[in-house]
Structure 1
Amino acid sequence: MAGPQQGKFVTGNLMRHVVTMALSGALGLSFTFLVDFLALWWISQLRVEAMIAAVGIAGTIQFAVMSVAIGMMIGAVALVSRSIGMGERARARRIATVGIVLTTGLQALLAALIWVFRDPILLASGAEGEVLTLGSQFLALTLPSMPLLALGINASAILRAVGDAWRSMSVTMTAGLVAVVLDPVMIVWMGWGVAGAGISIVVARAVMAVAGLWFVIGKHDLLARPSVEDMATFFRPYFAIALPAIVTQLSTPFGNWILTREIAQFGEAAVAGWGVVMRLTILAFGGIFALSGAIGGIIGQNFGAGRIDRVAGAYWAALKFCAVYTMVTWVLMIAATGPVARSFGLSPEGVAVLRTFTHYAAGAFVFTGALFVANATFNNLARPLWSTLGNWFRDGLLMYPLALSGAMWLGAPGVLWANALANVAAGCLAAWFAWRYIRRLARAPVAPDRAKGWR
């Protein structure tokens, strides 16, 4: 029986914990990306494909910046959840504070660098002409708000680490609701187009940051006063997890950049279709993307409490959730293909890209989810470098040759087939290695307080 100061995940039904955290995380994450999705949708109502392509490519670049924040968030969640699992709430507060301070500071630095070099980066991503001009305008407006986005994401993750699924979800839902109101007003009614989309995103991110701080501080008292002593104490154990997690997270935008470059050779219409696919992917498969964060707290708390049997149970519950969620979402996406294509006003080339994803490639998210579950397992069981290897095997080793071959033989849709094949291969291998490691821990446990020099 867990002590009263240990986390809520060390007792109770594991499948219920996984489903609750994953679905609430899915809603929260979906609302985070709903901000970008709605901006792209309202832009599409102006029926200018250059605008859709510009916002799509610019979004890919911002995703790379946000991936750094997500990687640092993983470090905070792993250490906060372990502390709570061991009944050390005061330590959890100090770690949460260090994580938020370091994340927002680094996001500000990265956003400033990309703001300065945004035009060369857009050119390297395949943007030219009007797409380059509009993409640069969009990045100029939205990049300064990246620290606010990082703050909101980290606050939401800390709430998940302590088991407060619904407040975690409400942080990002608030931002989505703001975008629902502002996007049509600024983009269409006021006629600001791409500039209106950028302003709406900035306001939504500011609201999310404020809501996150309100819940973390006001409801849970999970932030301490920042101190140099805490920075020195937790810097090394925090970055022992966060740095590999950052490198792991950066693999996805790198893979997307490869795919975007390959699709860009087929023109604005194909890029517009790809932009819709990327937004639709995150929105529809929010439950899969949320799995890593959702089970991170569950695995971390049970690892901290020495319950390896429950770590194994959480792992299998997450894989089962992943399979069911993907199958249901895949069927819904097939049915929605026509309405989505018409809603965004895609040309035949864009529709072909969209249809390849919704009818075929989307099914590979079973394996994408398995990769995410394995990553969460490695990150929270003191093996973050294994997550890095799994992701870069997919995005660094497999993606380019597969995308090149797919584009050569099947055109723009072939790039999506390449992405699906890479996910299948990486997901299978990562899931197998993660389960082997859990079984090894069950035979010879690693003390969580000694893992990666935590103490």
Structure 2
Amino acid sequence: MTKNANYSKILHGDIAKTLKDMTIPMIFGMITLMMFNLVDTFFISMLGTEPLAAISFTFPVTFTVISLAIGLGIGTSAVIAKALGSADIEEARFDAFVALVLSAILVIALSAIGFLLIDFLFSLLGAHENVMPYIHEYMEVWFLGSVFLITPMIGNSVLRANGDTKTPSIVMGGAGIINAVLDPILIFGFGPIEAMGVRGAAVASVLSWTVAVVIILHLLIRKKKLVSLCRQDRSVIVAVKKILKIGVPAAGANMLTPVAMAVMTAVIAGFGPAAVAAYGVGSRIESIASLVILALSMTLPPFVSQNFGAKQYDRVLGAYTTSIKFVLGWQLLIYVLLVVCSGLISHTFATEAEVQRVIVLFITTLPLSYGLQGVIILTNSSFNALHKPMNALMLSVVRLFVFYVPFAFIGSHFGGLHGLFIGAAIGNLFTAAIAFGWFNKTLASIQSADLKECNS
């Protein structure tokens, strides 16, 4: 397999332009997927309160499986991109094959356990008997089809590791469109197709994932030839260890976020239902306002890993600092826009005056630190790209449980709800400063060790 254009640009092209070209397609793909996920929720809400509540209960369980896939995807991307940067194309192709098989085995095993323990798991989460039948309808299908969700996620990581971010965006968006079209047909019935209710939503998702699997495997195996079964002197065990070394800590770090958010929600609940409702709106605003950061966190790691493998440390540092400067400026602009539109946003998402007031309070305070939060997210993904997964995991722990949540709690004690938001923002400031210094020190240490090895 010859070096493709994306591979050459990552190692030799203009840093800012290459990152921009890789990130823009990811933004559009994520927007498309987000829109169709909202459509999915909308159709289920039309079935009534209990079906919608049942779907809400499924989030922690499905997120656990998805977190595993995200972690494996991060490990896959880092391992393959480093091999490409080292000009070992065959190792990259073999690692891709191992990653696809490994992820399928792990997800099938985890989903099988989940399938057998549906009643136990959701009883622990507090699901009442009246919603349990809807949970069974959805989760039985979801667990059985979960491998079809995971395979495209890992396949997309392989493509991104090779510098291709456009194809994963098209696949993501295409799967979202198929899911949105099938949802009303399978949920409510159409012509000879009988209404399936909540089960129909799960079937629609599995069918859209299946289409994505066929497309991804065709691209990886037949068209782009990025996967190889050829072992030669390569060890499956070694490949598995490399992927899990990064993937397991990355999955763990990903699972910390909902835990921290649950603690934050519990603290905010002390200020009443209006505060909780406003915080829920704020969380959705955060996901949209941070869209560029999330897209960049997917495109920066392949760039870092490939140049790390090629020992081009100046390009690694250049990409990191360029990304940091961009997100700080970009998120400042987003903050100004949010403040200007705060009144409109509060009236759009709430009718009660108190909820509107808290939404405005949230918008004028916490989003000011989203650029700093971007520094943390990009540093975390860059640590994984440098094959330093424990650094990334520790950074997540420090951010959420040393600064963000504790500072928010202390702020709420002294300044009420306004103090809580200020405390969380200050927590982001301290963590960002630590993250930036830690990454630069780590990269310098890697470069120094490499120089000593060359001179010895």
TM range (shorter): 0.7 to 0.9
Change in Cα spacing, 1:294 to 1:193, as seen in structure 2 (3 Å) is same
Q: Which residue of 2 aligns with 1:296?
A: 301
Q: Shift of the alpha carbon at 1:155?
A: 1.0
Counterpart for residue 452 of structure 1:
none
CA shift for structure 1 position 346: 7.6
Q: CA RMSD in A?
A: 4.0
C-alpha contact 2:9 2:18 (8 A) present in aligned 1: no
Deviation at 1:315, TM superposition (A): 0.3
Segment of structure 1 superposing worse, 380-389 or 114-123: 114-123
Residue identity opposite 2:41 in structure 1: L
**Cα distance in structure 1, aligned partners of 2:129 and 2:269:** 13
Checking the alignment, whether the CA contact within 8 Å between 1:126 and 1:260 is kept in structure 2 is: no
- The 5 Å alignment of 1:159-170 reads 159-170=159-170
What per-residue deviation string (whole Å, max 9, x for no partner) do you get for residues 23-81 of structure 1?
222333344444433222344566x5655554344224322321111111111111111
Cα deviation code 1:228-276 (max 9, x no counterpart): 9642231222222222222222222332343456667899988777666
CA offset digits 1:97-124 (Å, max 9, x no partner): 1111111221222223333444554455
2:113 corresponding residue in structure 1: 113
Provide the rounded CA distance (Å) in 2 between the counterparts of 1:250 and 1:284.
Answer: 21
Match of residue 247 from structure 2: 242
Letter in 1 for 2:307: N
Q: Is the 8 A contact 1:56 1:275 kept in 2?
A: no
Letter in 2 for 1:8: K
Structure possessing the higher radius of gyration over alpha carbons: 2
**1:393 Cα shift?**
1.8
- Cα distance in structure 1, aligned partners of 2:279 and 2:54: 11
Equivalent pair of 2:43/2:184 in contact (CA under 8 Å): yes
C-alpha distance in 1, partners of 2:250/2:277? 30
Matches within 5 A, 1:77-92: 77-92=77-92
2: CA distance, partners of 1:414 / 1:186: 47
Q: Structure 1 CA distance, aligned partners of 2:453 and 2:128? A: 51
Structure 1 gaps, min length 5: 450-455
Q: Give the letter aligned to residue 387 of structure 1.
A: A
| Pair 1:103–1:275, CA change in 2 (3 A) | farther
Partner of 1:431: 436
Q: Which residue of 2 aligns with 1:231?
A: 236
C-alpha distance in 2, partners of 1:226/1:342? 60
Per the TM alignment, residue 277 of structure 1 is displaced from its structure 2 partner at its CA by 5.4
1:203 equivalenced with 2:211 (yes/no): no
Note if contact 2:7-2:162 (Cα within 8 Å) is conserved in structure 1.
no
1:27 paired residue number: 28
The separation in 2 between residues aligned to 1:422 and 1:134, in whole angstroms, is: 40
Q: Which moved more, 1:340-349 or 1:19-28?
A: 340-349
Counterpart CA distance in 2 for 1:225 and 1:177 is 33
Query: Residues 4, 15 of structure 1: CA spacing in aligned structure 2 closer, same or farther, 3 A cutoff?
Result: closer
Task: Determine helix, strand or coil for the equivalent of 2:450.
Answer: coil
Q: In 2 relative to 1, CA 84–278 (structure 1 residues): closer, same or farther, beyond 3 Å?
A: same
What is the CA–CA distance in structure 2 between the aligned matches of 1:122 and 1:11, rounded to whole Å?
Answer: 51
Contact 1:125–1:260, Cα closer than 8 Å, also in 2: no
SS of structure 2 residue aligned to 1:445: helix
Distance in structure 1 (CA, Å) of the matches to 2:362 and 2:125: 21
Tell me the CA shift for residue 379 of structure 1: 1.4
Q: Distance between the aligned counterparts of 1:378 and 1:328, measured in 2? A: 27
Q: Any conservation in 2 of the 1:272–1:346 contact (CA below 8 Å)?
A: no
1:159-217 CA distance string (max 9 Å, x none) = 11111121121121111222332334445677766444333322332233223222222
Question: CA separation of 1:275/1:376 partners in 2, compared to 1, >3 Å: closer, same or farther?
Answer: same
Do 2:404 and 2:428's aligned partners in 1 also have CA atoms closer than 8 Å? no
Deviates more, 1:148-157 or 1:323-332: 323-332
Q: Does 1:376 align with 2:381?
A: yes
Q: Relative contact order (C-alpha < 8 Å, sep 6+): which is higher?
A: 1
Could you tell me how far 1:372 is from its partner in structure 2? 1.7
How high is the TM-score relative to the length of structure 1?
A: 0.81
CA distance in 1, matches of 2:347, 2:187: 19
Q: Return the offset for 1:384.
A: 1.5
What does residue range 222-371 of structure 1 map to in structure 2 within 5 Å? 222-225=226-229, 230-259=235-264, 281-330=286-335, 358-371=363-376
| 1: CA distance, partners of 2:182 / 2:341 | 25
Structure 1 residues 5 and 335, CA gap change in structure 2 (3 angstroms): closer
- The letter for the 1-side match of 2:215 is A
Structure 2's unaligned 5+ residue stretches are none
2:63 is matched with which residue? 63
Could you tell me which residue of structure 2 aligns to residue 172 of structure 1?
Answer: 172
Partner in structure 1 of residue 13 of structure 2: 12
After superposition, the Cα gap between the structure-2 partners of 1:287 and 1:210, relative to the gap in structure 1 and judged at 3 Å, is farther
- CA separation in 2, counterparts of 1:336 and 1:363? 14
Q: Distance in 1 between matches of 2:149 and 2:427?
A: 29
Residue 391 of structure 1, CA deviation: 0.6
Task: Give the Cα–Cα distance (whole angstroms) in 1 for the partners of residues 360 and 6 of structure 2.
Answer: 50
- CA 1:315/1:425 → structure 2, altered by over 3 Å: closer, same or farther? same
Matched residue, 1:148? 148
The structure-2 alpha-carbon separation of the partners of 1:427 and 1:104, relative to structure 1 and needing over 3 Å to count, comes to farther
Q: Which amino acid aligns with 1:292?
A: S
Q: % of aligned pairs identical?
A: 26
Instruction: Give the aligned residue type for 1:13.
Output: D
Find out whether 1:100 has 2:105 as its counterpart.
no
Whole-Å Cα distance in 1 between the matches of residues 413 and 52 of structure 2? 25
- In 2, Cα distance between equivalents of 1:348 and 1:141: 42
Question: Does the CA contact (< 8 Å) of 2:82 and 2:309 recur in 1?
Answer: yes
Aligned counterpart for 1:212 among listed residues 213, 216, 239? 216
